[in-house]
Amino acid sequence: MASNILPPALKRLVDNLSKLPGIGEKTATRLALFILRGSEQQAQELAKSILEIHKSIKLCSICFTFSDQDPCPICSNPKRDKSIVCVVEEPGDLLAMEKAGEFKGRYHVLHGVLSPRDGIGPEELRLSQLKNRIEREKIKELIIATSPTMAGEATAAYISKMLSKMNITITRIACGVPMGMDIKYADPVTLKKALEARRPI
């Protein structure tokens, strides 16, 4: 469907949906038509839920994840280990770590990675808060779980250097060959990381 023949209200919805990450004009048009075919009540419920997230969800004052309470359920859970903090890029990374069900400490969400080209320096991330938090909470270990991209690696290196004089153990999550993958299909960088992260069995 050509966008110039859409009614203005429908085109406005398509334009707004296409601003979402990973949503192109075709997908946005399909979603807009799906919403249009639904009932007015469904559309109102969708609009209401979008408005509500900005009213009810804020940043946790400790770890900076999105939450409807402060501190968030993880930071306020007395069973979590306060001495270990896992640094992640975004709240979505925190959710992924929690789904794995292995980590029992707390988190610190940076809300991005260092990217000078995009104007994202240390001041734009939650790095000063991280340093203050380590001193305040007597954290013993910091696990850096940024993505194994150039920006993620640069951010991990920056954090490590920033905290090098503090009495804290700094570790980095291992990167390597995914479960179920045939080694001959792994790229050289993945194999290099897998060798670097090898451990005794």
pLDDT of residue 1: 45
Half-sphere exposure of 52 (CA within 13 A, CB side): 7
The pTM (predicted TM-score) of the whole model is 0.80
Q: Which single residue is written with the structure tokens 């946005």?
A: 28
In the three-class reduction of DSSP (H, G, I as helix; E, B as strand; rest coil), residue 84 is classed as strand
**What is d(CA 132, CA 161) in angstroms, rounded to the nearest whole number?**
15
pLDDT of residue 192: 81
Q: Which single residue is written with the structure tokens 């249009």?
A: 36
115-173 pLDDT, tens digit each:
988 889 999 999 999 999 999 998 999 999 998 888 999 999 999 999 999 999 999 98
In the three-class reduction of DSSP (H, G, I as helix; E, B as strand; rest coil), residue 30 is classed as helix
15-73 pLDDT, tens digit each:
999 999 999 999 999 999 999 999 999 999 999 999 999 889 999 999 999 999 999 99
pLDDT of residue 2: 53
Which residues are registered as beta bridge partners of 141? 84, 169
pLDDT(6) > 80 = yes
In the chain, the domains with their CATH numbers are: 3-56 (1.10.8.420), 80-174 (3.40.1360.10)
DSSP classification of residue 115? B
**What is d(CA 103, CA 113) in angstroms, rounded to the nearest whole number?**
22
> Is the CB of residue 24 less than 8 Å from the CB of residue 31?
no
| Helix residue ranges per DSSP H, the chain | 8-17, 25-37, 40-56, 91-100, 127-137, 150-162, 188-196
pLDDT of residue 201: 63
User: What average pLDDT is seen over the chain?
Assistant: 91
Which residues are registered as beta bridge partners of 170? 142
- pLDDT bracket for residue 190 (50, 70, 90): confident
